[in-house]
């Protein structure tokens, strides 16, 4: 791959490919290149090579896609794997889906889809070689293919792009200008100037956009003239019936010329027999000419019937193949959708399991905390009970000590009485103790006294 050039616009005001700012690349258009399609077009624009096939109007399948009041327009843009320098990945991509969508939107306001309810109009675009501006080239080729298929439209759609290169607004960007330029602005419009597609990539001011739109109008008018010229080459020739009439007329003229030659040959005959022979030859020549014309007409009719039968068989085979392909595509899409749904469900289940595990861990942590708190409370209660028991034991010990202290003085009177008895025993002698008569405890008032 070549690197970025130093300048995209030379000092002479010319671009790298020799064009001026308002010139488009050379364009070549061929119509009716696919015999099995209802309409087709092959377009070369610069080094872009685009092939388009249109099928329909035909019954839309699957039926759930049908619209009761209009036809369904389906646009499929695809780049061949070999269309670029680095091999492209085959199949749909985000870019091809986006281009298919905006291109379909560019044709929906132009095609008279309300004339074909519950039908489908399929536009298949295949980019065989890409060199910047493939979406605009595909739109131009699709418009010609739709006209070739006889799809009623309010006008032909033409498309072109302008951009900003080295600070200047230019028309119809080339590959280097698209890759290394500052902006790209594709536009699609009808011959009346109604815009059906606008996109922008990059940064442009309002004045630059106005200048670019003026350039686009000029480029689209040139493309429209090319589209009209190509369509006229096919649809301005006489019809098949007129051609057959011309061929029959030429056959009659040839027969008349042969008759005149025979007549001239026998014009100098003087005898009756020679004249009769001349008349017979003339009548035979006329009959032979008529028979030949009839045979040619029958052969042509048979050939046309065979061609029509072959075309019908091919169309039926194509429709069946397309239906099978659509059904397979639908089945694949459904399978993919189911797989995606299953993956989503699995992801949701995994998320739920993770959430449940997290909740269980939280609950376990909470249970552990509660158990720790309960154990701490139980230990605290046990310690309190032990303290209370120790206090009670201390109180009991104190009470016992107090009781012991109280019992000690109670024994003293006994000792005193014993001492008194001892003293009394010691005091016994010749004398006797006289009791106080006034003392009530002393007995009967001294009755026993001597």
- The DSSP result for 385-431, as a single string, is HHHHHHHHHHHHHHHHHHHHHHHHHHTHHHHHHHHHHHHHHHH-SSS
> What's residue 368's pLDDT?
86
> What's residue 414's pLDDT?
55
d(CA 381, CA 223): 98
> What's residue 267's pLDDT?
46
Residues in contact with 170: Cβ distance below 8 Å, sequence separation at least 6, in sequence order: 9, 15, 21, 22, 162, 163, 164, 177, 215
Q: What is the DSSP letter of 286?
A: H
Pair 30, 230: CB distance under 8 Å:
yes
What is the phi/psi pair of residue 52, to 5°?
A: -130, 135
Spatial strand order in the sheet of 27-31: 27-31, 39-45, 48-59, 119-129, 72-79
> What's residue 246's pLDDT?
52
What length does the chain have? 450
d(CA 387, CA 133): 95
Please choose, from the candidates 328, 315, 322, the residue with its C-alpha nearest in 3D space to the C-alpha of residue 34.
Answer: 315
Q: Which residues of 155-166 are buried (b: 16+ CB within 10 A; e: fewer)?
A: ebbbbbbbbbbe
pLDDT digit of tens for each residue in the chain (450 aa)?
Answer: 467 788 889 888 899 999 999 999 999 999 999 999 999 999 999 999 999 999 999 999 989 999 999 999 999 999 999 998 888 788 888 999 999 999 999 999 999 999 999 999 999 999 999 999 999 999 999 999 999 999 999 999 999 999 999 999 999 999 999 999 999 999 999 999 999 999 999 999 999 999 999 999 999 999 999 999 999 998 875 554 455 555 555 655 655 565 555 455 444 444 444 444 445 544 555 566 566 667 777 777 777 778 777 878 888 888 888 888 888 888 888 888 888 888 888 888 888 888 888 888 888 888 888 888 888 888 888 888 888 888 888 888 888 887 777 665 545 555 566 666 666 555 555 555 555 566 555 555 444 444
d(CA 136, CA 216): 12
Inter-CA distances, 176 with 1, 15, 85, 290, Å: 11, 10, 13, 67
Residues in contact with 241: Cβ distance below 8 Å, sequence separation at least 6, in sequence order: none
d(CA 56, CA 120): 6
What is the phi/psi pair of residue 252, to 5°?
A: -65, -45
> Where in 191-285 does DSSP place strands (E)?
195-198, 201-202
Question: HSE-up of 206 (CA within 13 Å, CB side)?
Answer: 0
- The DSSP result for 126-187, as a single string, is EEEE--S-HHHHHHHHHHHHHHHTT--BSS-EEEEEEEEETTEEEES--HHHHHHSSEEEEE
* DSSP H or E segment with residue 223: helix 206-235
268 alpha-carbon distance from chain centroid: 89
Pair 162, 215: CB distance under 8 Å:
yes
329 alpha-carbon distance from chain centroid: 15
- The DSSP result for 52-64, as a single string, is EEEEEEEE-SSGG
pTM of the model: 0.54
Q: What is the DSSP letter of 15?
A: B
What is the phi/psi pair of residue 441, to 5°?
A: -85, -5
Pair 158, 172: CB distance under 8 Å:
no
End-to-end CA distance of the chain: 165
């Amino acid at each position: 791959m070549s690197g970025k050039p130093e300048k995209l616009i030379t000092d002479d005001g010319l671009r790298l490919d020799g064009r001026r700012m308002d010139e488009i690349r050379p364009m070549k258009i061929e119509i009716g290149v696919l015999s099995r399609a209802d309409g087709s077009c092959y377009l070369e624009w610069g080094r872009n090579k685009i092939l388009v096939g249109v099928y329909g109007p035909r019954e839309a399948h699957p039926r759930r896609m049908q619209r009761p009041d209009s036809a369904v327009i389906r646009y499929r843009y695809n780049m061949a794997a070999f269309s670029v320098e680095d091999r492209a990945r085959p199949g749909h991509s985000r870019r091809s889906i986006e281009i298919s969508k905006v291109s379909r939107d560019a044709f929906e306001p132009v095609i008279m889809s309300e004339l074909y309810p519950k039908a489908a109009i399929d536009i298949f675009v295949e980019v065989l070689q890409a060199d910047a501006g493939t979406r605009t080239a595909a739109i131009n080729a699709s418009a010609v293919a739709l006209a070739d298929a006889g799809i009623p439209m309010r006008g032909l759609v033409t498309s072109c792009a302008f951009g900003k290169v080295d600070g200047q607004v230019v028309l119809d960007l080339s590959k280097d200008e698209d890759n290394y330029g500052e902006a790209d602005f594709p536009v699609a419009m009808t011959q009346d100037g109604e815009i059906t597609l606008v996109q922008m990539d990059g940064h442009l001011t309002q004045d630059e956009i106005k200048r670019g739109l003026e350039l686009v109008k000029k480029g689209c008018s040139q493309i429209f003239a090319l589209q009209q010229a190509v369509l006229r080459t096919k649809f301005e020739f006489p019809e098949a019936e007129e051609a057959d009439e011309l061929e029959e007329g030429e056959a009659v003229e040839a027969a008349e010329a042969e008759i005149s030659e025979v007549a001239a040959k026998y014009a100098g005959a003087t005898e009756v027999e020679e004249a009769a022979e001349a008349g017979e030859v003339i009548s035979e020549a006329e009959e032979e000419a008529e028979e030949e014309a009839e045979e040619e007409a029958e052969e042509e009719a048979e050939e046309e019937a065979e061609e029509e039968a072959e075309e019908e068989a091919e169309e039926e085979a194509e429709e069946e193949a397309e239906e099978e392909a659509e059904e397979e595509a639908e089945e694949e899409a459904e399978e993919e959708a189911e797989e995606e749904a299953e993956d989503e469900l699995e992801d949701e289940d995994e998320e739920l399991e993770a959430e449940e595990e997290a909740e269980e861990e939280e609950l376990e942590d909470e249970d552990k905390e509660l158990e720790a708190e309960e154990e701490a409370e139980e230990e605290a209660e046990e310690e309190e009970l032990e303290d209370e028991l120790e206090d009670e034991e201390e109180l009991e010990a104190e009470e016992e000590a107090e009781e012991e202290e109280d019992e000690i003085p109670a024994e003293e009177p006994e000792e005193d009485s014993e001492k008194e008895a001892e003293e009394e025993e010691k005091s016994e002698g010749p004398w006797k103790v006289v009791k106080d008569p006034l003392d009530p405890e002393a007995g009967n008032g001294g009755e026993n006294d001597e």
